[in-house]
């Protein structure tokens, strides 16, 4: 069996066009961790390290001589972030990144169970004794009806794409369900110039 590639098998979820579209997002499994503050800070970087370490612990299990039931070769899914503001941040008429509240997550294949999650946590604890894993969770998340679009460019330019998404909602009898939104990071920020970054922007909607 060929390796499962999310870029090929799930294009509708991870590689939309720049033009906004409506999509029904099914239930999926995630490793998640919550945090707050500026994403350029240490806490955010530590949370990233934790999520990737756990995800690769699952991915590399066969190399440790463990092959879970239903396991298949796959590419680790991209990082996702669910973004909000704290109460103080909501009062401001500009974005202050110090007031951001977020949940970072990496999707897991369907074969991953609570038992495998605990295996990953224990594996990472043994390797990385300096990081805290108390806040990590294994969650089933269903986003449901959403509008999404591919944003190409700097994260700071995302408001332009959100404007297109709002126009799409107005034209299609849709209303944004909440102020929060999801970002899916398709590009590796370490290897991609800001103007070429690809980020899926998504938020929940209701039909009106």
DSSP code at position 194 = G
The more confidently predicted of residues 176 and 132 is 176
- Quote the pTM value: 0.95
pLDDT of 1 > 70? The answer is no
Condensed to tens digits (0 to 9), the pLDDT of residues 16-73 reads 999 999 999 999 999 999 999 999 999 999 999 999 999 999 999 999 999 999 999 9
pLDDT of 171 > 70? The answer is yes
Structure tokens at 58: 């699952």
The widest CA-to-CA distance across the chain, in whole angstroms, is 54
pLDDT at 75: 96
Kindly provide the b/e burial profile for residues 94-109, where b requires at least 16 CB atoms within 10 angstroms of the residue's own CB. Answer: eeeeebbbbbbbbbbb
Whether residue 185 contacts residue 106, with contact meaning beta carbons closer than 8 Å, is answered with no
| List of E strands, 97-197 | 100-108, 137-152, 174-176, 181-185
Condensed to tens digits (0 to 9), the pLDDT of residues 80-137 reads 999 999 999 899 988 899 999 999 999 999 999 999 999 999 999 998 878 889 999 9
Q: Containing H/E element for 85?
A: strand 79-85
Contacts of 50 (CB under 8 A, 6+ apart): 33, 124, 131, 133, 136
């Amino acid at each position: 069996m060929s390796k499962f590639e999310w870029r090929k098998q799930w294009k509708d979820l991870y590689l939309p066009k720049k033009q906004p579209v409506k999509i029904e997002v099914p239930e999926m499994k995630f490793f998640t961790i919550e945090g707050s503050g500026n994403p350029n800070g240490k806490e955010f970087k530590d949370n990233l390290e934790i999520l990737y370490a756990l995800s690769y612990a699952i991915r590399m299990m066969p190399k440790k001589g463990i092959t879970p039931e239903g396991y298949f070769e796959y590419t680790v899914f991209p990082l996702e972030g669910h973004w909000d503001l704290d109460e103080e941040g909501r009062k401001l008429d500009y974005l202050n990144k110090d007031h951001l509240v977020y949940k970072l997550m990496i999707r897991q294949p369907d074969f991953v169970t609570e038992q495998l999650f605990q295996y990953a946590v224990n594996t990472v604890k043994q390797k990385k004794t300096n990081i805290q894993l108390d806040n990590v969770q294994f969650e089933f998340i269903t986003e449901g009806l959403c509008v999404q679009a591919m944003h190409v460019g700097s994260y700071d330019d995302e408001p332009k794409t959100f404007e297109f998404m709002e126009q799409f909602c107005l034209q299609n009898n849709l209303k944004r369900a909440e102020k929060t939104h999801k970002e899916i990071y398709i590009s590796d920020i370490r290897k991609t110039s800001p103007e070429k970054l690809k980020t899926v922007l998504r938020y929940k909607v209701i039909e009106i």
